[in-house]
Amino acid sequence: MLSASVVRSLCRTAGAHRGTRERLSACDVGQTDAVGDAGGAEEPAGSARTDPEPAGWLLLVYRIPSEPTRLRATVWRRLKSLGAVYLQNSAAALPATDGAERALRKLRREILEMKGSAVLLTCSALAGEQDMVALFQAARDDEYDEILDKCHDFHAGLDKEYRASHFTYGELEENEVELVKLKNWYAKVAARDVFGAPKRAVAVEALDACEQALERYAARVYAEQDEGG
């Protein structure tokens, strides 16, 4: 676990935070096990549709047993899926929203069940907040880049159908399923993109282009099927 002095250097009490954030432990390592855990299903953290503007940050500082190693990987994957960024080893931060709090409370409880230790803090940056935001933005842009790559693959797949003269309802359905997957993936990334990363608009445009390309392919499928029928 990080020392008390290190944790206090990362954050200060956000006493003005309202609602549920007032119930979180302020930056006091001594309250590690005093934080209550709320129930409820996990959801994407920082949803712009349901949460207010983030006020400060949530910081999860944890320690996982060295064995089995899969436990560390499990926690890392969970934090990555929430969009958290690491300030240093075993110290992950998210913008403070209701969705993020619920998800991190749930993860903290699971870490304790792994025989680990964890403290969940609500913090405000005294200095360097722009660096934290930049880390968060870069992480979201990396995810948007992955979506852009898949959009490129989607167009390549449609081009292959044209070259092979594959204009069947089966092929159309497969491509429709792929586009739905892309849209769902984008929705998950956008839900945790609370600051609006630069490449978000580019991803939206790429998805629109994919949809338009699929509509053109669908029109060709309908025409070919009508002629063949």
pLDDT tens, the chain, 229 aa long = 444 444 444 444 333 333 333 333 334 333 334 333 434 334 333 333 444 456 799 999 999 998 999 999 999 999 999 999 999 999 999 999 999 999 999 999 999 999 999 999 998 888 988 999 999 999 999 999 999 999 999 999 999 999 999 999 999 999 999 999 999 999 999 999 999 999 999 999 999 999 999 999 999 999 998 876 5
Contact 45, 80 (CB under 8 A): no
Question: What's the pLDDT score for residue 25?
Answer: 37
Radius of gyration for the chain, computed over Cα atoms and rounded to the nearest angstrom: 22
* Cα angle, residue 69 at apex, residues 32 and 185 outer, rounded to 5°: 85
Which pLDDT value is given to residue 53? 57
What is d(CA 126, CA 146) in angstroms, rounded to the nearest whole number? Answer: 33
Two structure tokens written together for 29: 């390592």
CA distance 192 to 81: 9
At 158, the amino acid letter reads: L
pTM above 0.75, yes or no: no
Q: Tell me, what's the pLDDT at 104?
A: 97
- Are the C-beta atoms of residues 45 and 85 closer than 8 Å to each other? no
* CB within 8 Å of 110: residues ≥ 6 apart: 75, 78
